[in-house]
Structure 1
Amino acid sequence: MIYSLENSTIKITASTRGAELHSITGKKEGTQYLWNGDAKYWKYHSPILFPIVGNLVDSKYRIDKKTYELPSHGLGRISDFKFVAQTNNSITFELKYSEETMKRYPFKFSLHINYTIEGNTVKVTYNVINLDDKDMSFSIGAHPAFMCPIEKNEKLEDYYLKFNKKETSDRMEITKDGYYSHKRKEGLKDTDIMILSKDLFKDDALVFDDLKSDKITIKSKNHEKSVSVEFKGFPYMGIWAPKRGAPFLCIEPWFGHADYEDFTGEFKEKEGSIELNSGQEFKYSYKISIVE
């Protein structure tokens, strides 16, 4: 089921399927900032990545020496969440453990996703609660896709990314199977600008693990419309657009990332994995802001 929230500046819609944002619309001109989910290119809009981010080697992982399987990005984006509550400016969904989730992810958990709008901003909050009597390992991340170009008469090359701090950062190398290789590739060098092009993503996503910036803005050379993602405290950042030229760009703050190609350890030993004690909560937010 689709729910909506709006104020004088923006309107958003979100679905119980995956607790996924479906649209972010500027009300001044009706500009759509979130990807429309055209399955020709990519059927998602802004999936929730939980309890893993990215790919597992052979889709398998280990907990207490037992092997489990999960699809890429985990259960969140393919699960039906429960509608919990709605106010004038917020909406909350919940995914709770079940017999089916325990077969693939052997922990008792509750995951709340909250969307709150204020002015031109959508605040997205993740709240993971460990309901089990043992420590729980997980990763979580965002995968919002934004219209790029925003205007129909533009192309990707009319756009650039503006970081809120100057960056010198190599990116993590991704293998052809979607894992990491332990090698680094040239990324950003003493700049706060990344010029966009189709060739930029020929080797898959650009993934950074040491950015100083906590805000990235998609901007056009032709007008003032823009969309920003503010991600304070998130240790990993993925920037991705499909190689085949789909008209969108993803800015993805993560806690955790895909497996290294040679990883054979326990899930709790996986780089970026979060350990949550019994009864504890993990709560983090990021923000999406538009300029119309």
Structure 2
Amino acid sequence: MIYSLENEKIKITVSEHGGELHSITGKKEGTEYLWNGNPEYWKYHAPHLFPIIGKLKDSKYRVDGKEYELPSHGLARISQFTLLSQSNESITFELKFSDKSLEVYPYKFSLQVTYDIKENSVKVSYKVINLDDKKIYFSIGAHPAFMCPIEKTEILEDYYLKFNEREDSSIMCFDRNTYFTHEKKDYLTNSDIIELKKDIFKDDALVFDDLKSNKITIKSKNHNKSLSVEFDGFPYMGIWAPADGAPFVCIEPWFGHADYGDFNGDFKDKEGIMFLEEGKEFSCSYIISIEE
């Protein structure tokens, strides 16, 4: 089922499947800012990444010596959520452990996703609750895809990404199987701009672990419409689009990342992994804002 929230400036729609945003529309001109999910390029809109982010080595991982298997980005984006609550400006969905989930992820959990709209923004909040009788381990992140170009008369090269701080930053490198190596490559030097072009993602995502910025804005060289993502506290940032020049760009704040190519350890030993003690919970959020 699809649900909607709106105020004078913005309208969003959200699906129970994946608890996923399907639309962010500016009401001034009816402009759509979220990717439409055209499967020719990418069938998702803004999936939630849980309990892993990116690829596991050979799609497998180990917990206390037992092997499990998960697809890239985990369970949440392919699962049915349940509506918990809804008001005029807020809606919350939950994904809870089940016998089926325990077969591939051996922890009892509740993942709650809340959307709050205010003025021209939507705040996306995550809450992970440990419902188990032991410590649980997980990663969590976001993968929203935004129309780029925003206007149909434009091309990708009309756009750039603007950081709210000047950066001296490197990107994490991939091997030929798109697992991370332990190498990094200099990418931004005293700069707050990434010019967008078709070959920018030829080696997969740009993944940063050392940004000073907590806000990235998609801007056009031709008009003032823009979209920004604020991501306080997230240690990793992925920026991605398919290498074939798809008309969208993803801005992805993460707690955790994909496997290194040489990682063979226990899940709890993954770099960037999160944990919760019995009965505890973890919360984080990011904010999407539009300017028209």
TM-score calculated relative to the size of structure 2: 0.99
Show the counterpart of 2:189.
189
Quote the sequence identity (%): 68
Superposed, 1:165-184 pairs within 5 Å as: 165-184=165-184
State whether residues 26 and 32 of structure 1, in contact with CA within 8 Å, keep that contact through their aligned partners in structure 2.
Answer: yes
- The one-letter code sitting in structure 1 at the alignment partner of 2:290 is I
Residues 109-128 of structure 1, C-alpha deviations (whole Å, 9 max, x = no match) = 00000000000000000000
Q: Which amino acid aligns with 1:130?
A: N
Per the TM alignment, residue 189 of structure 1 is displaced from its structure 2 partner at its CA by 0.8
For the residue of structure 2 that corresponds to 1:166, the secondary structure is strand
Deviations 1:233-291 (A, max 9, x none): 00000000111111000000000000000001111110010011010000000000001
Per-residue CA deviation, residues 169-188 of structure 1 (Å, 9 max, x unaligned), is: 11000123221011112211
In 2, the alpha carbon distance for the partners of 1:66 and 1:199 equals: 41
Deviation of residue 56 (structure 1)? 0.2
Partners of 2:198 and 2:168 in 1: how far apart?
Answer: 22
Q: Which residue of 2 aligns with 1:270?
A: 270
CA distance in 2, matches of 1:25, 1:211: 29
Distance in 2 between residues matched to 1:96 and 1:136, nearest whole Å: 14
Query: How much does 1:36 deviate?
Result: 0.3
1:215 corresponds to 2:235: no
Matched residue of 1:232: which SS? Answer: coil
Deviation at 1:164, TM superposition (A): 0.3
Ranges of 4+ aligned residues in structure 1 off by more than 6 Å: none
Q: Return the TM-score normalized by structure 1.
A: 0.99
Distance 2:234 2:212 in 1: 11
AA partner of residue 172 (structure 1)? M
Q: What displacement does 1:199 show?
A: 1.3
1:70 and 2:70 are equivalent in the alignment: yes
User: For residue 142 of structure 1, what is the aligned residue in structure 2?
Assistant: 142
Give the Cα separation in 2 of the matches to 1:235 and 1:82: 29
**1:149-204 Cα distance to aligned partner (Å, 9 max, x none):** 00001001000010000000110001232210111122111101111111111111
CA distance in 1, matches of 2:190, 2:53: 28
| 8 A contact 1:13–1:23 mirrored in 2 | yes
Partner residue in 1 for 2:51: 51
* Counterpart contact for 1:145–1:248, Cα < 8 Å: yes
Question: 1:247 aligns to what?
Answer: 247
CA distance in 1, matches of 2:163, 2:184: 20
Q: 2:32 is matched with which residue? A: 32
Deviations 1:70-111 (A, max 9, x none): 000000000000011100100000000000000000000000
SS in structure 1 opposite 2:268?
helix
Q: What residue in structure 1 maps to residue 258 of structure 2?
A: 258
What do residues 206-244 of structure 1 show as CA deviations (whole Å, max 9, x unaligned)? 000010000000000000000000000000000001111
Distance 2:53 2:258 in 1: 6
Aligned residue identity for 1:166: R
- 8 Å CA contact 1:218–1:228 kept in 2: the answer is yes
Write the distance in 2 (CA, Å) between the matches of 1:75 and 1:194.
32
Q: What letter is aligned with 1:44?
A: Y
Distance in 2 (alpha carbons) for counterparts of 1:214 and 1:266 = 31
Equivalents in 2 of 1:141, 1:13: separation in Å? 20
Residue 205 of structure 1 contacts residue 238 of structure 1 at CA under 8 Å; is this kept in 2? Answer: yes
3-state secondary structure, aligned to 1:100: helix
CA distance in 2, matches of 1:38, 1:201: 19
Which residue of structure 2 aligns with residue 117 of structure 1?
Answer: 117
AA aligned to 1:120 is N
Instruction: Kindly indicate whether residue 166 of structure 2 is the aligned counterpart of residue 159 of structure 1.
Output: no
Determine the structure 2 residue equivalent to 1:205.
205
After the TM superposition, which residues 91-130 of structure 1 pair with which residues of structure 2 at under 5 Å, given as runs?
Answer: 91-130=91-130
**Could you tell me which residue of structure 2 aligns to residue 232 of structure 1?**
232
- The reply to whether residue 19 of structure 1 matches residue 46 of structure 2 is no
1:197 and 1:245 map into 2 onto residues whose CA distance is 8
- Equivalent residue letter for 1:268: K
Contact 1:178/1:258 (CA < 8 Å) preserved in 2? Answer: no
- Amino acid of the structure 2 residue aligned with 1:55: K
